[in-house]
Every structure is written in C-alpha cells, then in structure tokens.
Amino acid sequence: MEATKYRAGDWVVVRSKEEILATLDRDGRLDDMPFMPEMFAYCGKRMRVHRRAHKACDTIKGMSSRRLPESVLLTGVRCDGSAHGGCEAQCSVFWKTAWLRPADAPHDGLPSASDGCTEADLMRATQFEEGGEIRYRCQATDFPRYTTPLRTRELDQYVEDYVSGNVTLKEMILTASYFLFKAFGRPAYATEGNWYRRFYDWFQRLWGGVHYPRRPGSAPKGQREPIETLNLQPGELVRVKPHAEILKTLNHDGMNRGLFFDAEMVPYCGGVYRVRARVDKFVNEKTGRLIRLKTPAVILEDVWCRGRYSAFRAFCPRAIFAWWREAWLERAPDAAREDFESSLGAREILKPRAGEPLV
C-alpha cells in the first residue's frame, strides 16, 4: 500500500514518538502542519483511517475548501485540548502519512534526527503572548499555512472523494441533486410552496434524504431568541427536535443568540443520540484566543458536518462537530430510549419511522 493512497477503512499504525519528532522542524511542523502534543497519546497504536484528508473546509479566511497534501483523518481521534487551554471543541486531527505506516507492513523505522524537534519545542509552539494575553496555535488556527486554495470547479476533488472511499455513490447523488436544484430552481429562501421545492422534497424522500434544508427562522422580531436549560450531561440520550420546532427558536438569519443552526444539521432532526460533551470554552481559530460561551452548547456522538449542503465545502471530510443549543433538544422519551439501547449500535441514530413527516 502506498502511504499517499490510504483509503477510508484502511488500518495503519501511528509511528513512535521518537520517529515522529524526527520528522518535525524546531517549531513542531512537517510541511508547515503542526504536530500537536495531544497526538502523542496515539503513538504506537493501530488505528483505522476515517477519511483521506485530501481537502478540508477553511473556517478562517472565508468559507471555502483547501487542499492538503498526504494527509488523513483517523477514526475516533479528536483533540482533547489539554495543551491548548482546555479547549472543548474536540476538533478532528490531521495526520501526515509520514507519521503513519500500513498496519500489515513491516516496521521500516525512520532515522532519528539529533537536531530535530523535542517535546519541549512542541509545547512551546502551542502558544504565544500578544498584548499581555496568552494565545494558542494548533492545526485549526494555522490551517491556511499548510494548505492551498481549492476551487469548486476543480472536478478532480470529487473523483478523489469517491475513489478514496470518503463518499458513497448515494451521498454523491443526493448532494448533486441539491446543488442542481439550487442552480436551476433558484428557490427563494422563504418560499415554501413552489413546485421546485415540492419536486426536490419528493426526490429526496425516494432516496431516504431530507427536505430542502435552508429555511428562515421564525422567532418573533424584536425579541431575544428563546433558550432552554436542560443541564444535559455526557452519556444522556436526547432526541433532536423536528426542524419545524427548531425554526421557532431562530431569527431570520438562522441564529439563536449568536449560535448558527446550519443546514448540515437538518439531517439529524428527529434522531436520537448520546450526549458526548458540553462546550463552555474553545480556541477561536481566527485569533487564537480562548473564548467562553455565554450560553453553553452540547455536542452529540457521531453528529458532525458532512459537507452536503455547502458548495464551498462539499464533501469536506473534516467532520466538525455540530454545536447544539439545549432548546433544540429534548431528553429521549422511554420508547425511543428502549429502541436506541436495543439497536446493534452500528449507528447511534434513529430516523423517523416510514410515513412520518420530515419536519
């Protein structure tokens, strides 16, 4: 197996700490991509490739995609923020293929470098001081440094999305139908009844998709968007409210007290999931500042952006967790809880039953 050709599902072994340090410069980087101290916990472990990270969305310089050379994402690997002020965003971690080896290949062993990076160098590189304030550096804050621009019309990216195993044919068809609808139907944002919209919703239902996801919020103008305090804790089961109910908590721009409800979250409406964590603080990738949320949010297991409804980040493999207001959730009722617990656990999601409305 060529390291640059890892596909989703391939097994790899993360190289040892010493081998990885030997690949880094004194700032803890390889090809400008930082290796973060949180990643040491996976050294020597056998892991599965989640996606080939040949591209990813840019959340710093404006919504777009950028190319990454020789990189992958590993299943279940998230940054725990321990070296970055306790950031709770739990971002996916990019791995250069030089830091991995195929699990079924003999250990080749990388040469050591006497003047390479040390653990102290790595820790030093995670933060800096500006204006008397500690700021942080990580793969998210430095994303533009180790990537290059990628235009939507560069079609080779979509070929690689498919051949790498990142995206199934069904996912490509459903997403393509959305962008074709946007291009030719040109739906008005608030229009509900035109035949373009009805045809799109019908076509999506045939394939098990969801209704047109971009709709304006309906919270009363001039009033603060409603909040709800459930004090949800990790491990609890919740059900995401129907999209129509969530729209009542959003202003016309789709926000609830500054937190945006993205179209990528709509497919999860009506599903049952387990709370993964609460989010009270995170590193702002644009400034490096550690920010505290005025109203805490929660993240749910296996609930992340899949890049299906955003032209400039279509099929992004980055799998950024969606952040949920508690007003968009409810504790799972007993029947849903029993169904969830009795499932095989392959996917922690319950779709609406056949014949139930999508909203």
Confidence at residue 307, expressed as pLDDT on a 0 to 100 scale: 94
**What is the structure's pLDDT at 354?**
29
Arithmetic mean of pLDDT, 34-38 = 98
Q: Cα torsion for 208, 78, 138, 32, to the nearest 10°?
A: -80
Question: pTM for the complete prediction?
Answer: 0.89
Cβ count near 4 (within 10 Å) = 12
Residue range 236-248: mean pLDDT, rounded: 96
Identify the weakest region by mean pLDDT among 8-17, 54-63, 194-203, 206-215.
194-203
Does residue 345 have a pLDDT over 80? no
Question: What's the burial of 222, exposed, middle or buried (CB within 10 Å: 0-12/13-18/19+)?
Answer: exposed
**Three-state DSSP class for 57?**
strand
pLDDT tens by residue, 150-176? 999 999 999 999 999 999 999 999 899
3-state secondary structure of 159: helix
Would you state the pLDDT for residue 45? 97
**Which comes out higher in pLDDT, residue 205 or 323?**
323
What integer is the mean pLDDT of 49-54?
A: 97
pLDDT band of residue 99 (cuts 50, 70, 90) is very high
CA separation (Å) from 2 to 97, 100, 104? 10, 11, 12
d(CA 39, CA 94): 10
Could you tell me the two tokens for 62? Answer: 């404006």
* CA 93 – CA 80 distance, rounded (Å): 10
pLDDT digits (tens, 9 = 90+) for 277-324: 999 999 999 999 999 999 889 999 999 999 999 888 999 999 999 999
Query: Residue 351: its pLDDT value, please?
Result: 39
Reported confidence tier of residue 355, pLDDT bands at 50, 70, 90: very low
Which positions ≥6 away from 66 have C-beta within 8 Å?
55, 56, 57, 58, 143, 144, 147, 148, 149, 150
* Residue of higher predicted confidence among 301 and 200: 301
pLDDT of residue 352: 36
In 3D space, the residue among 277, 348, 263 whose CA is nearest the CA of residue 306 turns out to be 263
Comparing CA positions, the residue from 298, 295, 277, 321 lying closest to residue 226 is 295
Give 22's DSSP letter: T
Average pLDDT, integer, range 38-56: 97
The separation between CA 115 and the C-alpha centre of its own chain, rounded to angstroms, equals 36
Task: Give pLDDT, residue 187.
Answer: 64
Alpha carbons 169 and 192: distance in angstroms, whole number: 29
Find the range with the poorest average confidence among 24-28, 95-99, 188-192, 337-341: 188-192
Rounded Cα distance, 318 and 166, in Å: 11
pLDDT-derived band at 195, boundaries 50, 70, 90: confident
Distance CA 177, CA 170 (A): 11
Query: In the chain, pLDDT over 70 holds for what percent of residues?
Result: 89
Contact 359, 266 (CB under 8 A): no
- Stretch among 82-96, 198-212, 249-263, 337-351 having the lowest mean pLDDT: 337-351
- The pLDDT confidence band at residue 186, using thresholds 50, 70 and 90, is low
Say whether pLDDT at 350 is over 50: no
Tell whether the model's pLDDT for residue 76 goes beyond 80. Answer: yes
Mean local confidence (pLDDT), 258-279: 96
What average pLDDT does the structure give for the chain?
89
Q: Is residue 357's pLDDT more than 50?
A: no
Find the helix or strand (DSSP H, E) in which 339 lies.
Answer: helix 334-342
pLDDT digits (tens, 9 = 90+) for 10-22: 999 999 999 999 9
According to the model, what pLDDT value does residue 115 have? 62
**pLDDT score for 336:** 73
Above pLDDT 90, what percent of the chain? 70
Per-residue pLDDT band at 337 (split at 50, 70, 90): confident
